[in-house]
Amino acid sequence: MESVKIGEDVFEILLPEEQIRARIKELAARLRLDYAGKTPIFIGILNGSFIFMSDLVKEFGDVCEIDFFKLSSYGDELISSGAVKLLKELNCTVTGRDLIIVEDIVDTGLSIKFIEQLIAEHSPNSTRVISLLLKPDSLKYDAKIDYIGFEIPSRYVIGYGLDYKQQYRNLRSIYVLREEV
């Protein structure tokens, strides 16, 4: 599927599934080296991260634990409201643990900054952030992303966990809204 039509909008392919899969293998190999001998906790930020999280931990392959936060900043809007809501807390204890925060996309950086502040209160041993996608031109907050899959332009993307009004998360590739010329 090279494009997706939603109403009058056309989304063109940005990252085909093979390219995503290959990059995740590289990221996972890097994490295996960096976390050798440790048992990290992968912490996914729902909903968007669920597919990336699943593929990443399978490729990681080593001993690890998994938990999720659920946040909402965008709701069904295309632009961030600027306010983050915590909809689900962690179930695990993070004190003294090595944490890998897993995001599908970092846009303004607001969500990651919010999570990092929340987690810092519980004194983990270490916290790093991995995001499949980063929009460098959209960053507004001082968010440090340790592992980045792809830097992409500041355009609306769907697929591979990313939604348009809660739909299209189950597309295997990532698509970008075609700009009008």
| Pair 34, 11: CB distance under 8 Å | no
Residues 156 and 144 sit within 8 Å (Cβ to Cβ): no
Residue among 41, 47, 116, 173 that touches ligand PRP (CB under 6 A): 47
Q: Three-state SS across the chain?
A: CCEEEECCEEEEEEECHHHHHHHHHHHHHHHHHHCCCCCCEEEEEECCCHHHHHHHHHHHCCCCEEEEEEEECCCCCCCCCCCCEEEECCCCCCCCCEEEEEEEEECCCHHHHHHHHHHHCCCCCEEEEEEEEECHHHCCCCCCCCEEEEECCCCCEEECCECECCECCCCCCEEEECCCC
Stretch that binds ligand PRP, among 11-19, 26-34, 43-51, 92-100 (CB under 6 A): 43-51
**Which listed residue (54, 108, 119, 146) binds ligand PRP by CB under 6 A?**
108
Instruction: Report if residue 44 touches ligand PRP, rule: CB under 6 A.
Output: no
Residue closer to ligand PRP (CB basis): 58 or 70 = 70
Our CB check for ligand PRP shows the closer of 99 and 110 to be 110
Closest distance between ligand PRP and the C-beta of residue 62, in Å?
A: 25
Binding mask 71-90 for ligand PRP (x = CB under 6 A): xxxx-----x----------
Active site residue ranges: 107
Give least dist CB 96 to ligand PRP, A.
26
Closer residue to ligand PRP (CB): 104 or 116: 104
* Binds ligand PRP (CB under 6 A): choice among 24, 27, 102, 110: 110
Site of interaction with ligand PRP (CB under 6 A): 45, 47-48, 71-74, 80, 103-111, 163
